[in-house]
Amino acid sequence: MNLVVDIGNTLIKYAVFDRSEMMLLETSEPDDFLKTVKALFKNHQKINHAIVSSVGGDEHKAFEVLSLFCQVHQLSHQTKTPFKNSYATPQTLGVDRIALATAAFYHNPNGNTLVVDAGTCVTYDMVNDYAEYLGGAISPGLEMRYRALHEHTAGLPLLSPKEILDFIGNTTESSIHSGVVNGMVQEIDGVIDQYRKRFKHLTVILTGGDAHFFAKSLKNTIFANPKFLLVGLNHLLEYNKR
C-alpha cells in the first residue's frame, strides 16, 4: 500500500492507496502531522511506500518523519516521469504541476489533456498526444483575488467567495463578486478555448479546492476531479518504484 502526502499552503492531505484505488483521504493542520502519520500507520499496517509533495518547501521534515515508518520518495524536478518534460526551466516547475501532468498522462495517455487546477493559484498544465508536457500558465486564485482587492485599495471590503446571480453588480459587494467570480469563469473558459483551437480532441480536467465552485459555471465541457493531484502522486510513486 502507498501513502501520498500533499503539503499545501494551509492544510496537509493524506491519501492511502491500494495500487490504484484510493482507500482513505483525510486532512490535518501542519501541527498535527506527526499524530496523523502515527495513526495512519497504526490503522494501515500494510503501507510500505510513501511520497511527499510540498509547494512550500517544508517536505524535508515530513520526509524524515515518514522515513521512520517506510520507504519514502521526495518529489522534485529530478523525479522520473512517464512523460517527456519540455518545460524550459524544469528546476523551477512546481511539484504540484508535475503530479497533475502525471495524472493527465495516465488519464488520457494517447490524447491531448489540459489540467486546470483552481486552488490558491489557478494553474494550467498541458500534456499533448505525444506524451509531452508543454507547460501552461499561473494566475491568482479565487481567495487571492478577493484579498488583493481589499489589501490594495482604501475602501473595498474583504469578502468571501459567493456565487453570483447576475454578472452586472448593482452594489459594491455584488460588483466585487461579479468581478472576481465572473472574471475567473471568463478567464478559464477563454483559456480553454485557446487550447481547443490549437489541440484537437482536447480533454479538460478541472481540479483543486475551488473546482466545485466553478464546475457548473463553465461553458466548456470538463471533467471535474478534485482528487486528481493525489492520483498523480500515487502514479509517480508507482512509476519510481520501478
Q: Is 96 annotated as a binding residue?
A: yes
Is 8 labelled as part of a ligand binding site?
yes
Q: Which three cell numbers stand for residue 223?
A: 471533467
Active-site residue 193, yes or no? no
H or E element, residue 215: helix 211-215
How far is the C-alpha of 179 from the C-alpha of 32, rounded, in Å? Answer: 37
Residue 216 annotated as binding site: no
Whether 9 has a binding-site annotation, put simply, is yes
**What cell numbers appear for 140 in the block?**
491568482
Task: Retrieve residue 129's grid coordinates.
Answer: 498526444
Q: Is 27 annotated as a binding residue?
A: no
CA 78 to chain centroid, in Å, comes to 19
Strands 112-118 and 121-127: antiparallel
Residue 87 is assigned to a ligand binding site: yes
Residue 11 labeled ligand binder: yes
Structural contact between residues 170 and 80, judged by C-beta atoms closer than 8 angstroms: no
- Selecting among 18, 58, 96, 189, the annotated active-site residue is 96
Q: Is 95 annotated as a binding residue?
A: yes
Active site residues: 96
Which parts are annotated binding residues for substrate?
87, 94-97, 172
Which parts are annotated binding residues for K(+)?
117
Which parts are annotated binding residues?
6-13, 87, 94-97, 117, 120, 172
Which parts are annotated binding residues for ATP?
6-13, 120
